[in-house]
Amino acid sequence: MAQQDLFIKNMVCERCIRAVRSELEKQGYQVHQIELGKVTVEHSLVDLPAIAAALEEQGFELLTDRNARLVNQLKTLIIELVQSGRITQLRTTLSDYLAQQIGMDYAHLSHLFSTSEHITIEKFWILQRVEKAKELLSYGELTINEIAHCLGYSSVAYLTNQFKQITGLTPAAYRNRNTADRNPLDWI
């Protein structure tokens, strides 16, 4: 039986993976492998329009354009890096990491991302880290210093500066507000 890779936009968490798997299996496809943004199905005939329609009803988008797939892959790599807590294990720059993971020149990837998303990769990286900081602050389990370290900031001041630029609040003020004004990751 043939395998086909499907690239899917807006898969940002484990719940998304379960929803996509469920939808594809409901349509009779055997899911061989699934990860954020990519599914490999085994099936003799893949009906892309039907899959696209079913996924769209769930808030996902089937990506058929190569450039859209690359941008989605960049987003997925950044989201996985932030959500996994592996930022502190990164032994290179973000640009080198992304270029290495995708196997393309960073300048090309950066231009493609900016053209498609109307923000830079760096801005997307900052937004993801601030959203994760908001999540960690709302749990109240870590100090701001621990959060800064966990998210790869060199200092609390650096986290505070970026956090305040994005939210208008310091991390401490945000924690004290104790509100859940976080954005869904697929909105960023």
Q: Tens of pLDDT along 75-130?
A: 999 999 999 888 888 889 999 999 999 999 999 999 999 999 999 999 999 999 99
Nearest to 26 by CA among 55, 63, 1, 61: 55
Q: Could you give the strand order of the β-sheet that contains 3-9, starting from the edge strand earlier in sequence?
A: 30-35, 38-42, 3-9, 61-63
Kindly state whether residues 71 and 113 are assigned to the same domain.
yes
Give the span between the Cα atoms of 85 and 31, in whole angstroms. 27
Which range of residues forms the domain containing residue 7? 3-63
Q: Mark which of 102, 120, 138 sits at the end of a domain.
A: 120
Give the span between the Cα atoms of 115 and 17, in whole angstroms. 28
Kindly state whether residues 111 and 87 are assigned to the same domain.
yes
Kindly state whether residues 98 and 116 are assigned to the same domain.
yes
Q: Per residue in 34-47, pLDDT tens?
A: 998 999 998 778 89
Is the pTM higher than 0.95? no
CATH of the domain at 40: 3.30.70.100
Q: What total number of domains does the chain contain? A: 3
Q: Mark which of 20, 41, 63 sits at the end of a domain.
A: 63
Give the span between the Cα atoms of 61 and 108, in whole angstroms. 24
Kindly state whether residues 52 and 90 are assigned to the same domain.
no
CA atoms within 13 A of residue 129's CA, in its CB half-sphere: 25
Q: Per residue in 4-31, pLDDT tens?
A: 999 999 988 899 999 999 999 999 999 9
Kindly state whether residues 112 and 129 are assigned to the same domain.
no
Give the span between the Cα atoms of 141 and 145, in whole angstroms. 12
The identity of residue 173, as a single letter, is A
Kindly state whether residues 141 and 174 are assigned to the same domain.
yes
CATH of the domain at 142: 1.10.10.60
Kindly state whether residues 18 and 48 are assigned to the same domain.
yes
The SS3 call for residue 79 is: helix
Give the span between the Cα atoms of 66 and 72, in whole angstroms. 10
Kindly state whether residues 13 and 49 are assigned to the same domain.
yes
Kindly state whether residues 50 and 75 are assigned to the same domain.
no
Kindly state whether residues 72 and 58 are assigned to the same domain.
no
